[in-house]
Structure 1
């Protein structure tokens, strides 16, 4: 039995859908019973409700589980939440944990400067010191983060991507590709004690991202290189908590410093996954880009 935590989130739900598509039996752990109901229709998937930080709720979900995919929301509680899960997984007799981690694609990006990558590093090291067999899957930024409605996505009101990183490039990866790699790591043996990096097949500036969305939709989308202070003020005015704004500021600053991104398709090649280009992603999600703009 496989358990996927954070199954209602962006990454977790992508993995759960891929498990169902491949006919792999798994449990999907969510905190909200309503979100569990939304997963109930997926074949081979058993939704379970529980809090990763509460051992009394987590132990029943881990009953009979041999392998788990560790994901939780990138909040200030992420380190405590995932460490608590690792401790409970040891008690429950889980054999192996695959941690969905992260690695920025920017060349020279300092993982200790940005709290997000620093948190992942803390959890990775804790998992490695545990009695559990471990595997790390480290994707770069997701292509889905550019969709309207995401914190760093296009604004549907004016089809603008306001990103204060100048002409720096990023190498975003499609979550569908990441989900395929995660299923391979969960369903097969031989990956213990290894780390797998994943980026998309291209390093793109934000202007190039906008150009690909424009080509896919037949509408004009653009990148606006706003000053850092203006972007942070806009996010705060939109209601983002101060700690989230601070987190994104750290990321923007480091991405501005590291202007070149590295493409790493080693995991795609190892698992026979065709890398999804951003142009293809934009075509597959054209209705989401244009529809959001029409509704705004």
Structure 2
């Protein structure tokens, strides 16, 4: 059996849906039963409840599991949550952990400089030291984070970000899910890190042009300061710690300025990369403000 944690979040739910699409059974761990949504109706999906921070709640989830895809919220408790979970998985006799991490597409980005990325590096060191076979998935920024710009797109026709001419190479979560499915259901991926980006390094001006084409409405990129954007995030209800972390991240991206596309993992697993324009067209109703979307967890 394969277990996917964080199964009601963006990447976790996408992986669970890919298992259902492929007709492969999967177990989905959620902490809050009220947030399962339609996952319980998908064929082959077994929902289990438990808290990664509390090993005593995880016995049903881990029983008979061979591999785990470890995903948890990116908040302040990520380090403690995932290290505690690694211990529980090892004690349960699971064969392998596949850790969902991240790798910024920006050239020269130092993950140790920022809390939001440093925690992942600390977890990786703990995972390696645990002695368990491991695999790491390291996607770049999700294309889905642009859903959070929908209020500005609808209200002012602007994509407002503090990036200047910086390029980013975002990846569609569905691409990651297809790769994760193959990693979790085939052998030979132990002690391997799979980095991945989307197929294009885009300026935000280019991203705005693609959004315009997809939704049939003019969208312009507006370069704002990180302080302005941080205020806007907080006004939108972001917790202060998250707004501050995002501001620091965008400042570093703006300072470094250039992204490199890496499609080696896509080629390795024969997954056709989704372009930003394709993604925008597939989600045109969301970008027009006509359908709901999920915001990044705190």
Instruction: Report the TM-score range of the alignment, normalised by the length of the smaller protein.
Output: over 0.9
The answer to whether residue 154 in structure 2 is matched with residue 138 in structure 1 is no
**Secondary structure of 1:179's aligned partner:** helix
Partner residue of 1:284 out of 260, 263, 282: 282
Match of 2:15?
15
- Cα deviation, residue 171, structure 1: 0.1
Alpha-carbon spacing, 1:107–1:225, altered in 2? closer, same or farther (3 Å): same
Q: State how many pairs are aligned.
A: 291
Match of 1:48?
48
CA contact under 8 A between 1:5 and 1:30: conserved in structure 2? yes
Match of 1:233?
231
Match of 1:38?
38
- Cα deviation, residue 291, structure 1: 3.2
CA RMSD of aligned residues (A): 1.5
Match of 1:257?
255
- Cα deviation, residue 192, structure 1: 0.1
- Cα deviation, residue 153, structure 1: 5.5
CA contact under 8 A between 2:150 and 2:286: conserved in structure 1? no
**Secondary structure of 1:135's aligned partner:** strand
**Secondary structure of 2:27's aligned partner:** strand
CA contact under 8 A between 1:99 and 1:134: conserved in structure 2? yes
**Secondary structure of 1:84's aligned partner:** helix
Q: TM-score, normalised by structure 1?
A: 0.95
- Cα deviation, residue 197, structure 1: 0.5
CA contact under 8 A between 1:216 and 1:282: conserved in structure 2? yes
5 Å-filtered alignment, 1:31-110, equals 31-36=31-36, 38-110=38-110
- Cα deviation, residue 37, structure 1: 5.4
Q: Runs (4+) of structure 1 moved beyond 6 Å?
A: none
Distance across 2 between alignment mates of 1:154 and 1:131: 46
The answer to whether residue 185 in structure 2 is matched with residue 187 in structure 1 is yes
**Secondary structure of 2:155's aligned partner:** coil
CA contact under 8 A between 2:227 and 2:247: conserved in structure 1? no
Distance across 1 between alignment mates of 2:139 and 2:279: 16
The answer to whether residue 156 in structure 2 is matched with residue 158 in structure 1 is yes
CA contact under 8 A between 1:110 and 1:254: conserved in structure 2? no
Distance across 1 between alignment mates of 2:117 and 2:51: 23
Alpha-carbon spacing, 1:113–1:292, altered in 2? closer, same or farther (3 Å): farther
Partner residue of 2:271 out of 270, 273, 276: 273
Unaligned runs of 5+ in 2: 293-298
CA contact under 8 A between 1:154 and 1:162: conserved in structure 2? no
- Cα deviation, residue 230, structure 1: 1.3
- Cα deviation, residue 267, structure 1: 0.3
Distance across 2 between alignment mates of 1:13 and 1:118: 24
Partner residue of 2:202 out of 201, 204, 207: 204
**Secondary structure of 1:46's aligned partner:** strand
**Secondary structure of 2:289's aligned partner:** helix
- Cα deviation, residue 112, structure 1: 1.4
**Secondary structure of 2:69's aligned partner:** strand
Q: TM-score, normalised by structure 2?
A: 0.94
Match of 1:119?
119
